[in-house]
Amino acid sequence: MVGSSLATTPQHTEPILEEIKAYEVDNILSIVTGLSTTHIKEYLPNTFVVKAMPNTPLQVGCGATVLCASDDNHEDIYEYIKHLLNSIGLVEEIPEEQFPLLVSAHGSTPAYFYYFVECILEDLKDRGMDEKVARRLLVETLIGSGELLKTDEEKPLSEFVDAVCSKGGTTIQAITHFRENGLKDLVKEANEKCINRAKEFEK
């Protein structure tokens, strides 16, 4: 059994597929954004193709990978790849047509979180707070908030928000400002741009 992995930028993919199509490759694991299993099989018709979208927090064993496969019956290979990826983070199987949607909910989201932390940090620096202290506090709070969300996956997210917001207190002032100024709509518009760009890469 000969297996390969395909990890390259979309614009370099087809020249690479042209190079390797002369070889007998039993299976391939692709993490190329926007490249469908069907398109890969146009070059490698006898190859079992698994498509994955990992995210960067996997570097520290805390991220996730979404996964799908071509229709070929290679359950043993697929299970091995799932087991391998499970060893470094969460694995979720989704239909391939949903991959562009998962760019904004999964692949790009770490940058969203980093940017939001950056915005808070810049504001705190402008107000005179020590940058290193503020960054440490923000990072640990972000990590802890994620862990808290994992404790009850059935609990509505609004209840987590309400648990921090006491009536007439400080946090509710910020949350109300976010709501009144359309943060939800802004996020939706940003997701739309991200998803549309992902669709442009699709083949």
Task: Give the C-alpha separation, 71 to 41, whole Å.
Answer: 11
13 is in which domain, residue-wise?
A: 3-95
Query: Domain for residue 182, yes or no?
Result: yes
One domain, residues 117 and 46:
no
Query: Domain for residue 102, yes or no?
Result: no
Residue of 4, 1, 100, 84 whose CA lies nearest to 43: 4
Using the 3D structure, point to which of 38, 61, 95 is the last residue of a domain: 95
N-term to C-term CA, the chain: 27
Name the domain count of the chain.
Answer: 2
- CATH code at 158? 1.10.3730.10
Residue of 8, 36, 6 whose CA lies nearest to 21: 6
One domain, residues 79 and 113:
no
Listing DSSP states for 115-150 in one string gives HHHHHHHHHHHHTT--HHHHHHHHHHHHHHHHHHHH
Q: Kindly report, residue by residue over 17-68, the tens digit of the pLDDT.
A: 988 888 888 888 998 878 889 999 999 998 999 999 999 999 988 899 999 9
Q: What does R_g of the chain's alpha carbons equal in angstroms?
A: 21
Query: Domain for residue 100, yes or no?
Result: no
One domain, residues 152 and 192:
yes
- CATH code at 82? 3.40.50.720
Q: Kindly report, residue by residue over 171-180, the tens digit of the pLDDT.
A: 999 999 999 9
For residues 28 and 44, the answer to whether their CB atoms sit within 8 Å is yes
Q: Kindly report, residue by residue over 152-197, the tens digit of the pLDDT.
A: 999 999 999 999 999 999 999 999 999 999 999 999 999 999 988 8
Q: Are strands 89-93 and 63-69 parallel, antiparallel or unpaired?
A: parallel
The structure tokens listed for 135 are: 């960054």
